[in-house]
Structure 1
Amino acid sequence: LMRTYAASHGQTILKLRLPAALPFIFNGLKINTTLALIGAIVAEFFGTPIVGMGFRISTEVGRMSIDMVWAEIAVAALAGSVFYGVMALIERACTFWHPSFRT
């Protein structure tokens, strides 16, 4: 149909293919933002000199300070939920036309 109206390749991508792909792109972004946080924390477990959440968790486990370990885990869970929620809000703003967001 786009070729019938003499749309260029760029117009076809911007007006047809990209909007159709946006729900899938945002699903990937929502999943990967939380997995990136988990990956960063796990990478910090393995002896990085950077003082991050993973470093603090491994240090507090060595000190037997379990309450601080659970506090760091709770903060990490909250941060992951916030990242997911922000991506969901951006998705809702960008793909308001998609049938999954209609009420």
Structure 2
Amino acid sequence: LQRGLLPVGNFVAALPVIGMAPILVMWFGFDWQSKAAVVVVMVFFPVLVNTVQGLQDTDAMQRDLMRTYAAGYWRTLLKLRLPAAMPFVFNGLKIGTTLALIGAIVAEFFGSPIKGMGFRISTSVGQLALDLVWAEIVVAAIAGSAFYGAMALVEKTVTFWHPSQRGTR
């Protein structure tokens, strides 16, 4: 992942979304596929970077212990490295939830002929209906916060064993 996919992810993350969105809409059409392509472009790199960092989070003593138990690559991956990477993966996913919402709105802004938050924002700006623009912004902020909160709850359920989730309250 680090040598093969990370440079590609870095390149994709450096592309300006505002320039890529119209191109992806032309390639994939006005349906949901173009919005999904923009979201994938925006979310891919943060999730990849966090996942790679998480997979490297185990220390040498833990890996040596797995070798002592005669665990092969796949068993070490499934029993040690993936569980250790889960907090990092969820950090990437939490970042990705808000980026996905922004990406979908940008894609709708450029490529939705009749519906969506991006379409509504662009038409409201054209009509100088700033109250509707602000309402859409507030709705997007609330939706982004809700998605982030839902991902945090899933993280808490999956990584209940991690010290970051066992805080005293």
Shared topology, TM-score over 0.5? Answer: yes
Q: Deviations over 1:21-75 (max 9, x none)?
A: 0111000000011111101112222253251101001111111211111111111
| 1:72 and 2:136 matched | yes
More displaced stretch, 84-93 vs 45-54: 45-54
1:10-25 map, 5 Å: 10-25=74-89
Classify 1:3/1:43 alpha carbon distance in 2 versus 1 (closer, same or farther; 3 Å). same
- 5+ long unaligned stretches in structure 2: 1-64
Distance in 2 separating the partners of 1:18 and 1:91: 14
Percentage of matched positions with identical amino acids: 76
**Structure 1 residue 8: Cα displacement:** 2.8
Higher relative contact order (CA closer than 8 Å, sequence separation 6+): 1
Instruction: Please report the TM-score for the alignment, with normalisation by the length of structure 1.
Output: 0.92
| Amino acid of the structure 1 residue aligned with 2:146 | V
Paired residues in the alignment total 103
Query: CA-atom RMSD, angstroms?
Result: 1.3
Distance in 2 separating the partners of 1:49 and 1:62: 14
- Choose from 63, 84, 94 the match for 2:158: 94
Classify 1:76/1:21 alpha carbon distance in 2 versus 1 (closer, same or farther; 3 Å). same
| Amino acid of the structure 2 residue aligned with 1:34 | T
Instruction: Please report the TM-score for the alignment, with normalisation by the length of structure 2.
Output: 0.58
| Amino acid of the structure 1 residue aligned with 2:75 | Q
